Amino acid sequence: MRSQFVSLYFWLAAVCVASNIYFLIPIYSNLAEGLSSTYEEAVFSSTVFTFCYAIGLLSFGPVSRAFSKKYVLCFGMFASFLLTFSLATVLSIQSFYILRGIQGIVLGSFAPVAYAYCFDAFPVKRRTFVIAVINTGFLMAGIIGQLISSTLVYVYNWQAVFYFFSLSYLILSICAIYLLPKVNWNKPAPHPTLSSSSKNKLFQAPVIIGLCMTFITLMSFVSFYEELAQYYAGQEKELFFSRSIALIGTPLSLFSGHWFKKMTPQKIMLICLMFMILSFSFMLLVKQLVIITAISIIFVSAIAVFIPSLITFIGEAAAERRATAISLYSFILLTGASIGPIVSNLLSFQSMLVTFITLFGFSFLMLIFLKPQIKG
């Protein structure tokens, strides 16, 4: 029973942390009005947060090796509680930028430390499941975060969104102390010098191609929902149901481990890319939100399976440099997400679709080029 609560904890924590990337999307207008700023300035706050979050992902990996991972998780959540609560009290967009940036760095403590904690605390089978739960939470946050913020703004105001998440982080910090099992921690010994062949593992074609695809993955997800909110502005109720329905596709990531037994990650990625291209292509042909919503289920499902496949693909290609490669993956993934709002501001809905169809197509061709490396 306790192990189930631990899994639930990591899912909730992943949702609450990653929701910060997305929850402003439906409420940019409310935020801009509340802080007496422009819509574009409100959108830029998401870029500030996500870029700082990516920096936090790189920073807390080494920190977790020097301190107890359980207490780093607890500290990150408690600090996030204080910063998120403070965000609800700011009066200017400049102060909002500063606090959002610091909040992003602190929230970056969760992902690398949580993954490392799973390797220390759980046996292999259990670890695989908990990591899949965390990945599912990250993906579902893209939609759940928007649903929570749009609901709270409709009932209360934009400050209520930050009060809600600050309370969530306080509860999660307390739960981390009493719920998470203790793990043995020893101060790490100095790492031996890596051989040149080991270093080259980071610079071979599969890793580079995988990291290039990483950059556009969350960028496409964020840009799509940013554009959807702008293209169908004024249809908040319809957008709410559109985001809710898209949640259907997110749990597919939990089944990725089963599919890995039958196909290589590379094959699964090719299938996902094909569905991502097809879903965006069909969206070009329609304008009705209800049809785009139905197609978005396919897109979200493909992303849900693509992300764990991409992590596995990069990890296997990097071999003994896996830890460094996954850290780079996390940083690049969130850097791409931070650029998503900028892309949506620069391009129209149709232009955004064409751009990512092209990028997905190049990614597909690059994987086809690596076909001799596919086994099974």
What fold is seen in the domain 196-376?
Answer: Growth Hormone; Chain: A; (1.20.1250)
Encoding tokens for residue 55? 């920096």
Q: What is the pLDDT of residue 374?
A: 42
pLDDT at 322: 66
CA–CA distances in Å: residue 334 to residues 12, 129, 179, 248, 374: 19, 23, 29, 23, 28
Neighbours of 36 (CB within 10 A): 10
pLDDT in tens, 189-216: 455 555 555 455 667 888 889 999 989 9
Inform me whether the pLDDT recorded for 137 exceeds 80.
yes
- Give the span between the Cα atoms of 253 and 243, in whole angstroms: 18
Give the tens place of pLDDT for each residue, 319-344.
766 666 777 777 788 778 778 888 88
pLDDT surpasses 70 at 367: yes
Domains 10-181 and 196-376 share a fold: yes
CATH architecture of 10-181: Up-down Bundle (1.20)
Delimit the domains of the chain by residue range: 10-181, 196-376
Share of the chain above pLDDT 90, in %: 39
> Is residue 349 pLDDT above 60, yes or no?
yes
41 exposure class (CB count in 10 Å sphere: 0-12, 13-18, 19+): middle
Which of 44-48, 80-84, 193-197 bottoms out in mean pLDDT, i.e. has the lowest? 193-197
| Percentage of the residues of the chain whose pLDDT score is greater than 70 | 88
User: Cα(first)–Cα(last) distance of the chain, in Å?
Assistant: 38
What pLDDT score was predicted for residue 124? 65
- pTM to 2 decimal places: 0.76
Q: What does the pLDDT read at residue 33?
A: 93
Q: What pLDDT is recorded for position 97?
A: 95
